[in-house]
Amino acid sequence: MRRVLVTGGGSGIGRALAQGFADAGDAVTIAGRRIEALEETARGRTIRCRQADVTDEAQVAALFEDGPFEVVVANAGGGAAGRLAQVTLAQWSATLAVNLTGTFLTFRAALGGMGPGGRLIAIASTAALKGGPRIAAYAAAKHGVLGLVRSVALEVAEAGITCNAICPGFVDTPLGQAAVDAVQRRRGIDRAAALAQLVADNPTKRLIAPAEVVAAALFLASPGAAMVNGHALSVSGGEI
């Protein structure tokens, strides 16, 4: 039974990932800032909950005190949307901290004990592969995550470890639905029209199911993906 760590496991993609790995028979630990949300993810499954802020070096290090994990998924992320001229330094710094620094701290701590067969997976975004209006801070952070992944992959390859990124488009999670709400408010249009605008770049014209991101992560964590390293796996219906 593999030990798997998923950060940002209290909601959305992180919740789906944690439950997916647990259902596959792995011993899953989830980390996040809100213990109630973590406990909701774990309900009905054997999932260990650890309250931790991935931007705090000591709190991240504490996640690994009980030994190494075979699979570490750096999923915690987020960031406020807005035109660059409206983004404050505090918002910029917070976005880079949770998305990029959090991934750095998580991967660095993971490599302290990870051995051959280990898997590092970052949940990035299509924003790691292209820019977009009103997401400058988020896109910059996710581009940084992809640079980190590609560099770490070269460092760990000879040790039998892989490091990859999953880059989803808009996923049908509470965060994705909030994005639909934001478009609806900003444009003054109905919800169906707002959803259509949000997924316009996705050739399938729909939100991505969380299970589709989980399937990608399970593949990257599998023995069959041993030669997939430094890769940005786009889960976006052909958007990228």
Those residues with Cβ within 8 angstroms of residue 23's Cβ, 6 or more apart along the chain or in another chain = 45
Contact assessment for residue 8 and residue 2, using Cβ atoms and an 8 Å cutoff? no
The per-residue DSSP string of 131-147 comes to: --TT-HHHHHHHHHHHH
Active-site annotation holds for 5:
no
pLDDT tens for 100-113 read 999 999 999 999 99
pLDDT at 113: 95
In order of 23, 155, 187, 203, 216, the CA distances from 240 in angstroms are 30, 27, 26, 10, 16
Question: Residue 80: pLDDT above 90?
Answer: no
Q: Provide CB contacts within 8 A for 231, sequence distance 6+.
A: 153, 164, 165
Please determine, for residue 175, whether its predicted confidence score (pLDDT) is greater than 90. Answer: no
pTM above 0.85? yes
As a 3-state breakdown, the chain gives helix, strand, coil percent values, each rounded to 5, of 50, 15, 35
Q: Which of 32, 138, 166, 167 is catalytic?
A: 138
pLDDT tens digits, residue range 189-202? 999 999 999 899 99
Domain definitions of the chain by residue range: 3-169+209-232, 172-207
pLDDT, tens digit (0-9, with 9 covering 90-100), for 56-76: 999 999 999 999 999 999 999
127 to 18, 111, 144, 185: CA distances (angstroms): 23, 26, 11, 22
Tokens of 57: 């070096």
Q: Span 156-185, mean pLDDT?
A: 94
The region, left, alpha or beta by phi > 0 then psi within -120 to 50, assigned to residue 230 is left
What average pLDDT score do residues 82-93 get? 95
pLDDT band at 25 (very low <50, low <70, confident <90, very high): very high
Residue 28 phi/psi, 5-degree rounding, is -105, 135
CATH class of the domain at 3-169+209-232: alpha beta
Distance CA 88, CA 158 (A): 42
SS3 of 20-42:
HHHHCCCEEEEEECCHHHHHHHH
Instruction: Render 36-98 in DSSP notation, one character per residue.
Output: HHHHHHHTTS-EEEEE--TT-HHHHHHTTTT---SEEEE---------GGG--HHHHHHHHII
Q: What is the pLDDT of residue 178?
A: 86
Distance CA 34, CA 57 (A): 18
pLDDT band at 182 (very low <50, low <70, confident <90, very high): confident
Neighbour count for residue 88 (Cβ, 10 Å): 11
CA 28 to the chain's CA centroid:
16
Mean pLDDT, rounded, for 24-29:
98
Among candidates 205, 21, 37, which has minimal Cα distance to 29?
21
The rounded distance, in Å, linking the Cα atoms of 174 and 171 is 9
Burial per residue of 105-118, b for 16 or more beta-carbon CB atoms within 10 angstroms, e otherwise: bbbebbbeebeeeb
